[in-house]
Amino acid sequence: MGEPKGDRDEEFQAFVIAVWPRLLRTAYLLAGEQYAAEDLVQSAAERACASWSKVRRADDPYAYVRRILVNQHARRTRRRPPELLVEAVPDAAGTEDGYARSDQRGALLAALATLPPRQRQAVVLRHWEDLSDSQTATAMGCSVGAVRSHAAKGIAKLRQVSALVELKDRTHIGGAV
């Protein structure tokens, strides 16, 4: 406790500056929309600020805040039906160029948006944040079995999206976007 308040504030601000881009990208995948993502991350950061003395003592402060972010996302989507950002996912992407890649980005976001929130969280945390099942379970506040179930169902749905066919053949990212 003896630490001056100003130092704590500076430490928190430095932490937020460092993790903000990564959190924003994760929130973007969860929320599917820029402004909703910004709102989600700000809300999580405010809660982290309120509990900073606890967050900073955590083994992995980023993981702590990510869990807050996921909880916030769950809370906001609990009473709402899954968002549909587009009326229909496009049937096929065009040729392999920047525009096609951009289409696929949109298609993936649109496909993610059709997943129920818990499935979306499981897929994003495992495949974007690259967490193990147990780490994902910690972040989502559920059992490992539930994570596996959510992720399997979510991925099965994504596999069925024809607009993502080209992505499935991809094993690397390259070229200008």
Cα gap 63→18, rounded to integer Å: 13
Q: Is 7 in the site for other proteins (CB under 8 A)?
A: no
Contact map string, positions 105 to 144, toward other proteins, x by CB under 8 A: xx-xx--x----------xx-xxx-xxxx-----------
Min dist CB 94 to other proteins, Å, is: 15
Residue whose tokens read 């130092």: 7
Min dist CB 122 to other proteins, Å, is: 11
Q: Is 95 in the site for other proteins (CB under 8 A)?
A: no
Residue whose tokens read 């999206």: 161
Cα gap 20→6, rounded to integer Å: 21
Which pair of structure tokens corresponds to residue 9? 């504030």
Which pair of structure tokens corresponds to residue 125? 């945390």
Q: Is 56 in the site for other proteins (CB under 8 A)?
A: no
Q: Is 52 in the site for other proteins (CB under 8 A)?
A: yes
Cα gap 126→151, rounded to integer Å: 8
Which pair of structure tokens corresponds to residue 60? 């992995």
% helix, strand, coil for the chain, step of 5: 70, 0, 30
Q: Is 34 in the site for other proteins (CB under 8 A)?
A: yes
Binding stretches for other proteins (CB under 8 A)? 6, 9-10, 12-14, 16-17, 20-21, 24-26, 28-29, 34, 37-38, 42-43, 45-50, 52, 101-102, 104-106, 108-109, 112, 123-124, 126-128, 130-133, 152, 155, 158, 164, 167-173, 177
